Amino acid sequence: MALPMNQLGVVKRNIERADKAAVARLAALGVATIHEAMGRVGLMKPYMRPAYASAKMCGTAVTVLLQPGDNWMMHVAAEQLQPGDVVVAACTTDNEDGFFGDLLATSFQARGAKGLIIDGGVRDVAELEKMSFPVFSRAINAKGTIKATLGSVNIPVVCAGAVVNPGDVVIADADGVVVVPSLVAAQVADAAEKRESFEGEKRAKLAAGVLGLDMYNMREPLEKAGLKYVD
């Protein structure tokens, strides 16, 4: 991602969305599992939390770069939404204003969007819950925004520490938010499903009282590392 100069003021209309089948498979998996399967990359910072307890989502990213205190680009983004998309909004600076509320949620939902990930604040959270429009944000804040400054839509953004390219798969659940590049979506789904398939057996063993020390053969490496048992 060679960041060009003057990347503000641009809307990219045609983006390559991740394969729908891969998205569907990823939607059935948890964020922690997917993150492991990817080799532990692509996770947003843990300050991103659901606006209401049951919020979760999976979809393809339409990205937005906002200016502080200004949500003009959210309206521009609405037009670019296709069913199954998730809006991923970054800001040019740390800002917790309430960039998003129930009216924009109504518009996004009408366009088929699956939710919003925003490195900023949102409001009308009681209404968002009633609408079942999931949002993950860094803050809840009643403070509204203006519509005066250009940002961009569908350029690569850094959102809560993670690079998001338009079309990437974004999955959010109670454990956080992870981004899967569209090119590797199927591959990551493979790896994550495989990983998950192993977990049932492990869980059964552990539930039966087998220790991880034995199940993972850790006793020898621990001893080699110098672990000492004392009474």
Footprint (CB under 8 A) of its own copies, residues 35-64: 35-43, 45-46, 49, 53
Beta-carbon contacts of residue 170 (< 8 Å; ≥ 6 apart): 57, 58, 59, 60, 61, 86, 88, 117, 164, 177, 178, 179, 180
Binds its own copies by CB under 8 A, chosen from 24, 28, 79, 132: 79
**How many of the chain's residues bind its own copies (CB under 8 A)?**
111
Q: In terms of CB distance, is 59 or 66 closer to its own copies?
A: 66
Q: In terms of CB distance, is 3 or 197 closer to its own copies?
A: 3
Binds its own copies by CB under 8 A, chosen from 58, 61, 104, 189: 104
DSSP SS3 for 145: coil
230 lines the binding site for its own copies (CB under 8 A): yes
Cα separation, 98 vs 23, in Å, equals: 29
Cα separation, 231 vs 117, in Å, equals: 51
Q: How far is the CB of 87 from its own copies (least distance, A)?
A: 13
With beta carbons less than 8 A apart as the criterion, state whether 156 and 12 touch: no
Q: How far is the CB of 134 from its own copies (least distance, A)?
A: 14
Q: How far is the CB of 20 from its own copies (least distance, A)?
A: 19
191 lines the binding site for its own copies (CB under 8 A): yes
211 lines the binding site for its own copies (CB under 8 A): yes
Give the distance between the most distant pair of CA atoms in the chain.
69
**If residue 174 lies in a helix (H) or strand (E), which one and from where to where?**
none
